[in-house]
Amino acid sequence: MFSMALRVKQQRKKERKSIIELFQEILISALSRNDDFIITFETVPEKRKRYLHVLRGKLITPCMLGTLKNRIELQQEEGSAIMTIHWDKAQVKTCQVAMAGLCPDKKEI
């Protein structure tokens, strides 16, 4: 038997996450997959808007990385910086356990 009454969709309460929580989730996902994680800004002057892009994936080739490192070295006086850490996949599991902040309580990260 078919009911002719309209079905009313129940509103699901969406949990709003902060931008930091979203960054953490994407970063942890990227680290566990050995993916690149990039945050960059784009300014569109004609629209007077600024966009934040967060990218995750196999994005940076060794050649691109070398170019970026050189560019950072040339722009250090303007505030450019790079952080290089010896990385071991086992550290991702430690990081997932210590999700508060960016694993501030672990020396190896």
Domain positions in the chain are 19-97
Between 65 and 89, residue with greater pLDDT: 65
Alpha-carbon torsion, ordered 80, 86, 87, 90, to 10 deg: -140
DSSP of 10-52: PPP-PPP--HHHHHHHHHHHHHHTT-EEEEEEEEEGGGTEEEE
Higher-pLDDT residue of 78 and 94 is: 78
* Position 93 pLDDT exceeds 70: no
pLDDT given at position 100: 41
The residue whose two tokens read 């303007």 is 78
Q: What is the pTM (predicted TM-score) of this model? A: 0.62
| pLDDT tens-digit series, residues 13-39 | 678 889 889 999 999 889 888 899 999
pLDDT, one tens digit per residue, over 55-74 is: 999 999 999 999 999 999 99
